[in-house]
Amino acid sequence: MIDRVAAAFESKDYREAARLLKQLVKESPENPWVQFYVARLHEVTGKSEAAEKKYRQLLRSTTIAKIMAGSRQGLQRLEQNEKQRRKEAIVQAKIDPNNTQLGVLILEPIDSEAKTQAAKDFARIMNLDPYKARLLLPSRGWRLYRTGAIGELRLYAQELLSANIPNFCATLADIQKINVFRVSHFQSLSPQPTIVCYNDQNQMGSFGFKWSEVRQVIQARLPIFEEVVDHDFLKRLERKVKTQDYSQFCDLHLPGRRSILRIYDSAYEFQQGIDFSAQAEMATNRRNWNRLIEFLNSQLPHAKLLSDFTQFAETALDRTELLDRLPSHIELLRRADSHWDPAFQLYSGLVFLRYFPSSPT
């Protein structure tokens, strides 16, 4: 009967092949030729995952040369079909102008026990070496994995999610739609907190809000670079750029206002408005900042706190084509522009969109 099944496949009479295989599966379920043609039937009827699973099982369980060769050929066809399907889907997605916007694909942490299978699926979907795929999957923090047209990234994102690989994507345009206000100081705390701040046009104004509106807090530090004179290994003088200090940042996310309140130590006017320092201690910029953060923490126990910016930045700093297009809404006294500033804006904006893709009702 196996010959009749083979003949049915040869003539592309898949209905007859299915009828014959149904009987054979009952009579000889372990027969490797039966299993091979079951895999072939899965393949031709569009059940790619089931076909791939059967072919791989056969490669592990049989030594029959023709079945092994046929299984390898089947896996190659499945791979080629998947590549062609994805290529056509990408072309179709790009027909919509909105799908050509510049976007990013972010990989989220995955549990170590799930990483082995996830790496195999990641390698298959992204056409990567399995070892490299495992290294790219983060165990903690986010990884900026790819930039490009958002339509294409969303296709990959959906396939990754189907393989239980956590990720998300967003457009640069959506990040830029979030209002960012640079905080000068707290003007008052009652009956509600009010800040003096600057908008993206550098215009000063006041902004009143409720503590309950703050749903997320981002705490981070950005390096301050200075050019210094140092000795090389031959004790010759040379100029190097080194990290000399860090600037402390705290972003408050108000999703209902679609706004971020950006507070950082070098721009905050501690001598204006509310005094957060302890009168008995000597006021320094660091102590004033610590007191301000302590106060904010006491008012925002309900807010989600995120502080893993540095790890994300390490995966984003070389994406200069992206960062150069993103206003940072940061004014630090630097001798030269740094990609750390737009990288922080990117991270804060992504956190905002990840947890609040649209304003709550």
Report which DSSP code applies to 108: P
Tens of pLDDT, residue by residue over 318-357, are 999 999 999 999 999 887 789 999 999 999 999 999 999 8
CA angle 203, 207, 210 (to 5 degrees): 160
Tokens of 6: 């083979």
Tokens of 229: 């004179």
Which option is the CATH number for 96-174: 3.30.1390, 1.20.120, 3.40.50, 3.30.870? 3.30.1390
Predicted TM-score (pTM) of this structure: 0.80
CATH 1.25.40 domain span(s) along the chain: 2-92
Residue 346 CB contacts under 8 Å (≥ 6 apart), including other chains: 104, 144, 175, 316, 322, 323, 326
Pair 131, 180: CB distance under 8 Å:
no
Mean pLDDT, contiguous 10-residue spans, the chain (361 residues): 88 91 88 92 90 93 92 91 80 77 96 93 91 94 96 93 96 97 96 96 96 97 77 61 86 97 96 81 84 96 96 96 96 87 98 82 33
CATH 3.30.1390 domain span(s) along the chain: 96-174
Q: What is the CATH number of domain 2-92?
A: 1.25.40
For residues 143 and 166, what is the distance between their CA atoms, to the nearest angstrom?
Answer: 11
